[in-house]
Structure 1
Amino acid sequence: MDLESRVTNSERKQKIKKEIISWAQTLVVVLVLVVAIRAFLFTNYIVYGSSMMPTIQDRERVIINKIGYDVGSPERFDMIVFHATETTDYIKRIIGLPGDTIEFREDNLYINGELMEETYLNEMKEEYKTRSYTDDFNLEWLTGEKQVPEGHIFVLGDNRRNSIDSRHIGFISMDQIVGKADIAYWPIKDFRKLK
């Protein structure tokens, strides 16, 4: 082997080594970004149970926006994930915000005395034509409070006949909120923005 061939082989090895180092650095940066995004911005959840049907089905996977409420406030009818216990998270819909009065009368939701449309329940209400889909109640009957306390929300599952929610566990502290459910992504055929 002549000198020129040895130099070329040496240069080739150096070039390959630099290429491997470059790819390794890129991979490390990508992994750090993925971990940071998952930890601080978004995460995914598998929904277990039927409490949010028909909006979200059992075992559907959803993406949770973890930073949305750092820059904005929860809004009525947002679907959120929150820590129900130390080991269990629930997904429910925000019905009452701090200071709200809430009443269900004849299957109609009244917030601060004003009738509110719950169009996301139309399909289920149709199935329950002969009886109420949501039993009558008001906050005072359930909680002894006339209004949702400051720093808390009142949540319900969309499947009102089969949901453990604020009617059973009381008000949810804003500190318990993990984030807003934005997208259902699995199964892929049912990919959609959640409303």
Structure 2
Amino acid sequence: MEEENKNDIKKETIEWIKSILLAVVIAVLIKTFIFNTTYVLGNSMYPTLHEKDRLFANKISLYFSSPNRGDVVVLKAPDNPSKDYIKRVIGLGGDIVEIKDGKVYVNGEVLKEDYIEKDSFTHIYGESYWEVPKGQVFVLGDNREEGASKDSRYFGCVSLKSIKGITGFRYFPFDDRFGKIY
């Protein structure tokens, strides 16, 4: 009877270990290939995102298509590969992006930007004209105050390979900004 009890405990322990290992493998696969979470540091995406916002970043869509203009993406920082930046895609491969008189133009037309503060002035950091190469994007932070965002005005266009995910959902804080990001 005691031997049978030991066998049952041993079998149950093995089943628990298998279940835990399976859960860990599934979690690693999801985090590696499907989605990740990210944390906002700084105010470069204000007013869309605030410091300490927590977001889901969708990775799986990047296997099938490139980001679209207007998407908010997580990318490996070109000037510091140990960091990630969160920025908005403004120009796609083949586009011409120009900043004149504080306004952003894409292919000669003023970009309608409902996500930035009203009457924002988009400063330049030297260059004011970019031809976006194929396989790259031009990104900007939503905060256009001078020096508020390190983005394509500072480091140029970004390779699609450096994009780690497309954010679309804020899961924290639980306030009126909870939910879909525009």
Place the TM-score, normalised by the shorter chain, in its bin: 0.7 to 0.9
- What is the CA distance between 1:80 and its match in structure 2? 0.8
CA RMSD in angstroms comes to 2.2
User: Rg bigger for which structure?
Assistant: 1
Question: Which amino acid is the alignment partner of residue 118 of structure 1?
Answer: E
Contact 1:95 1:154 in 2 (8 A): yes
Q: SS of the counterpart of 1:120?
A: coil
2:57 paired residue number: 64
Tell whether 2:89 aligns with 1:101. no
Contact 2:143 2:149 in 1 (8 A): yes
Which of 20, 33, 43 is matched with 1:27 structurally? 20
Contact 1:79 1:94 in 2 (8 A): yes
Which of 37, 45, 48 is matched with 1:44 structurally? 37
How many residues are aligned here? 176
Could you tell me how far apart the structure 1 residues matched to 2:84 and 2:156 are? 15
Q: String of CA shifts for 1:127-164, please: whole Å, max 9, x gaps.
A: x4xxx5224x7xxx72664x211221111100011212
2:161 paired residue number: 175
Contact 1:143 1:170 in 2 (8 A): no
Question: Which amino acid is the alignment partner of residue 18 of structure 1?
Answer: K
Tell whether 2:150 aligns with 1:164. yes
Structure 2's unaligned 5+ residue stretches are none
- What is the CA distance between 1:101 and its match in structure 2? 1.5
Which of 108, 127, 133 is matched with 1:142 structurally? 127
Residue correspondence of structure 1 range 75-154 to structure 2 within 5 A? 75-84=68-77, 85-105=80-100, 108-121=103-116, 124-125=117-118, 128=119, 132-135=120-123, 142=127, 145=130, 147-154=131-138
Higher fraction of helix: 1
Q: SS of the counterpart of 2:47?
A: coil
- What is the CA distance between 1:17 and its match in structure 2? 2.5
TM-score, length-normalised on structure 1? 0.79
Could you tell me how far apart the structure 2 residues matched to 1:34 and 1:11 are? 35
Question: Which amino acid is the alignment partner of residue 92 of structure 1?
Answer: K
Could you tell me how far apart the structure 1 residues matched to 2:37 and 2:129 are? 35
1:185 paired residue number: 171
1:3 paired residue number: none
Contact 2:66 2:160 in 1 (8 A): no
Structure 1's unaligned 5+ residue stretches are 1-6
Question: Which amino acid is the alignment partner of residue 135 of structure 2?
Answer: G
Contact 2:100 2:128 in 1 (8 A): no
TM-score, length-normalised on structure 2? 0.85
